[in-house]
Amino acid sequence: MDSSELLPVGRRVAYWRGRRKLSQQVFADRLGKSKSWVDKVERGVRSLDKVSTLQEIAVVLRIDTTVLLGRDARPATATERAGGVERIREALSTYEIALGRPGARDAALVGRVVRDVEHAWNAFQRAHYPQVTALLPELLAGAQRAHADDPAAGRVGLVEAYRIAAALLVKLGEADLGWLAADRAMATATGVPTMLAVAAVQLGQALRASGRARAALAATLAAAHRITPLDPHAGTPAEVALRGTLLVQAALAAARHGDDATTADLLGEAAEMAARVGDGHDHQRAAFGPTAVDLARTAAALDLGDAAEAVAWHEKTTRRDAWRWLPVEHRAAHLLDAARAYLQADDPANAGRALVEADHTAPAELRHRPAAREIVARVAREPHAPATIIQLAVTLGVT
């Protein structure tokens, strides 16, 4: 290990300046700074809190910017993610497995698929996206084979495998491929209203992410209405939570479409259902409850252009104990919305704090979501961006 790896940033500057045989004065002249400024940086009295300054120093010292922040700060690349997505794409394209072939049924296969689906959902909700990416091709192949062998017994496993694929692909910025997976889930669930409604949650997410907000609104509302009983107070907590989750998805689609009245009505209706369900549950992997609905108000307000309201809902909702009960993935995704809201409200400092909290909560949320990397880059470009965000930006390779 190079001895410079263990030094703080200022001392790394001094280390590499010495390696390049530059005096403080010569180094200062090349940077257009004073010798006193260089001395304070190297002693840690003055922090390096601008990406542009770090880049200028790196150019003069003829090193990569990441070296100034330590060799543990390697820029993340999209190579591994792209390879994983391509393997999922191939699994979704393997029609001959789904069509099935004559032969003896594997009675144990359905059970294995159920266990693998549970494992994949748990990994997704913990925001272990690389792990889910690696699991999905084999899970999809197994679920397709089980459904081909026994359509009745294998249907739930295949729908859930497609749902996981759609949720992950939307996260990874592959909205159209996520739409394909969600559409496959809908097709597989045909004839079973509740299963169709479950699949419609991911369909709404994928359609909205691919810029089809009106289609997302229509699909999720239709699914919600199809499973709504004549008595509005009827249904188990799981059924009420599913209807409420679909209404939240519809509200988010309406907000993306710019329809504030419909957004308010749908969120109000969802809030009534959430009050019946309560917090601390995770029906259909949606964590639906009062806290989830109010977090959705942040995202909706953001899309409607009301940053102040989005910030207010974020700050109010995240003070609750129930905020900590939500899955890691849910919390990290919301923190990205909060960062966007703070940016729109011209508050880069709090945007930076939200991103740092998101990184502590679920590092993969920032490292594997293109949308997250974009937000980090935007905050890092702010004139007074915190040093922690600058380091995070360099780590992610988005400077």
pLDDT in tens, 40-56: 988 888 877 677 788 88
Domains and CATH numbers, the chain: 3-68 (1.10.260.40), 77-211 (1.25.40), 212-321 (no CATH), 327-399 (no CATH)
pLDDT at 394: 76
pLDDT at 73: 46
pLDDT at 4: 44
CB atoms inside a 10 Å sphere around CB 289: 25
pLDDT at 7: 58
pLDDT at 353: 93
pLDDT at 306: 96
Please classify residue 25 by burial: count the beta carbons closer than 10 Å to its beta carbon, then call 0-12 exposed, 13-18 middle and 19+ buried.
exposed
Low-confidence ranges of the chain (pLDDT < 70): 1-7, 49, 66, 70-80, 95-105, 230, 232, 399
What's the pTM value of the predicted model, to 2 decimals? 0.81
